[in-house]
Structure 1
């Protein structure tokens, strides 16, 4: 075959084509269109292209490209596929790009361009083929494709971070807000409601079972909530254990029925359980009657409704409250307070009033509790119940507590400077302070500035704080004692584990909850037996006792007979301004 190539070269390629191929240094070859695509002629650049001299190529591969491509048959299959398609469609030739392994293992990407000739050898039609090295182009394209894939992957990751909740793998707040906004804007007012749903006591579940288990619960809740949504309704985990749902609004009964079905479905895992554990929820619903409101305001209104119903009876593992005009007015009031609170603090509108504690042994004043009052120049005296709970929620109570504490230190300092005998003053400390590790630092700075002995100040801590975090509570008392302060346990008897508390916490004073005395003269013997037992127990534990909320003289007489140390209530004095308190204390 080799001799035939040499002798018949002019037969296979024209002189003009040969000159052009030499000028372009272009690989040119002719092949039978048989099972092997047998090579019948090639110019010198063909052999240079593949890296094999002509004699070695003929000896090793016998002019059979199918043998040459044995190491990379997938590339040969590409060429075969294009040849067969060209023959089938009678296109007269083909073009394709395929890989080729040159001598030494160097891989090239090659563009094959072939024309079918009206020439035959041994009964097989010939094809005229050129090969062009396009490795640089293909690799550049591959690199570009890889960069595109990397960019696409990065964009997908950014989109996931921006729109996917990492715990539930579903909607996060951003995606929910975008989706809900679109749906609300395209619907008539009153078509949808925004629902705020919160999983009760989830923090406890996390602490007992661990975060991984807690995350599984959140995913489970998310999936089951979604199972009950249709059309353009949607759900998202907004934060921690809080979810938002956009639901088509029916009447209240219909909404309650749907929410009830969701909760019962979520708790269906308890069927046949030996020790069932029910997931309970608080739910707030804002019917979207004003579609121009922002999602933030709608969410706030649903949250207000949810928070207002937290203490409602829970017979079906959830409470549900609908946003009302009362909630709207409360929101406006709270917004007004938030707008005014910083200025009020700077202007000295938060004033300490003092409610004396009467020593039952001799009737004298044995101390007092400092209570905050807001003296608004326009609205007058604002009752603490109107602003303290709100300040507890927004954290401003920290500023108010420190303001009252400074007034107490200033008052004690003035008594000491005047040579008067001071009485201990108790101050309330919100649990919000305990979020800081060194929560006493700002108190100490104020006390040291006025040079007041710490022993003259008593911090009142509520019993509910003990139940929430007893270990923290014990650490708090230890820190206070280490700096010389006294501590009292306020509202003793308001919880269900009061006696258990006494064995764990090193308090100085026990304040009996006003609930013991709320019936006045109608207080029954059973209540008095409990009070007497508690006072006797306090004596054994070397604790001072203060009875709160005492309003009738008969109660005072009985408490004196039980050897209770002090009472604090309207039977002796209401909370009074500092001038009136000093007059009562010093008789001036």
Structure 2
């Protein structure tokens, strides 16, 4: 079926659809936009018309009898003349798989039914212009490549016998050496090469001279006016009549036009024309490389799948032009969010170059966060986006705001290949929409895994107290002047029947969140007091024992009664018990917390301030709550022999503590040099692996029996 009108000088559009009414509507819209049209009612007829009439653009329905749109598109692309023809797939299938099949078959773009007839003609014109630009760029690339293969625009040579160098004036002009008014030397020849490329170029040429072999290299030169030129430098070896390498003959060519054309083609192929963001093709390529790199280096990364909430309503209300402006503004907002995402809780990303933002189509965006260290960093970025997107955008007089729903998948836990990672991020995004939109969700299975692990530890802790799985290890505290043991710090460990030894930093935070910390604190105090009394009954010299209490809801732990009962049950004098608390307890400054600390002092307990200098340190609370002991954090002690700042801080803490009447204990002493330095500064006591690591109660009794630890 053929209806060809006004073919002279008008671009020809082939409309392929088995629905006559739709064909007529499309032809009318295109004719209004200045196109001539031909029609085909199926794919087979479309292929025949393409061969005979060579249309400039094809509007191709997906679902047709005899030969569907995908097969028709593939058939046209396989023809010699079908490489640059623009193909717009027209589909009523609103699913990602159909869209991906369309692009794989060779479509340039797709449009979903119902069709906006006004926009159809404009889209056809844009596609025609893009197609012609691509064809012209490819033609220019081929012409330039061939021309520069044949034309020697400037020549140079190196005599391999006497190692002399000669360069033609034309080569000098190309390299920006017009101000050199003497014979151009080899060093002059390399002087204009961009600094970051000079070593590479010199190494390439020097190696070719040494081994007498040809080479070809591309690099940039910087001209005297600051302009940049791309140079192709090639050389061959010239042999004398005896077959001996005699001369290295080279040519430099200005390939700036070729490079610019390649860059234009790259932009068309890999970047979204509306937003300037990466397109699906570039994103999938980068994702493949990221998976390979993460597998090699054992790293994790995240995908954030974004969909603007109710974007269709904005398009319907204000038109597609305003919708496009909104998409451009949102893309700029996303880029700003990523650039600012490396400041919260330490570096979230190694650098800006470790991220890629792409527009997949419509109102869908995806962000690749590379090397994120931990999944929580992806949530930090997602929260920033959630907060930033609803900004009111003023678009041609209209105030428009939009929200977004974000799904997050993590490599490798949520998938080890591209398809699964994308699918799971997409699934998590729909989960976010089900949660009410304007939020982010991790992929559900990974959440379940995390919750399951946390629940396992929580349940295990409930049973650990009943099954006596917790144990206390004891680290000696040494009087620095004599090296005698004067105390011990009790440190909790969890001997899990399946997981083995679990350190406190893995389970204490969960214990605090669930309230189990109250029972754990009680067990630690009771066990430490009981053990101290057992050592005394074994005729070992009396010492004080320090227990580190979690400051979580200290006022609600009934801690004073627990301490009193533990001391009474063990028949232990309160002077032999020391309570270690961290700075965050002081920083709470609640009335109840102040009361508890005063009651501890009334019981004649020693109060030690642990990890001093690592929290939100303030000298004011040291006057409000006079402590008996200030413990210098191990981070300062470990750096004291190398870092001047650490030594300054240590001396300041010691001087301040002594002026307030407090004892000073240094943690983390591991070498004799550290010991002598800390002792020389006037610290009273210390602990660390130089003297002994934390040990069980039996081994500690053996240490206690010694006069001193040397």
TM category, shorter: 0.3 to 0.5
What TM-score do you get using the length of structure 1 for normalisation? 0.47
What TM-score do you get using the length of structure 2 for normalisation? 0.39
Q: Which has the bigger relative contact order, CA under 8 A and spacing at least 6?
A: 1
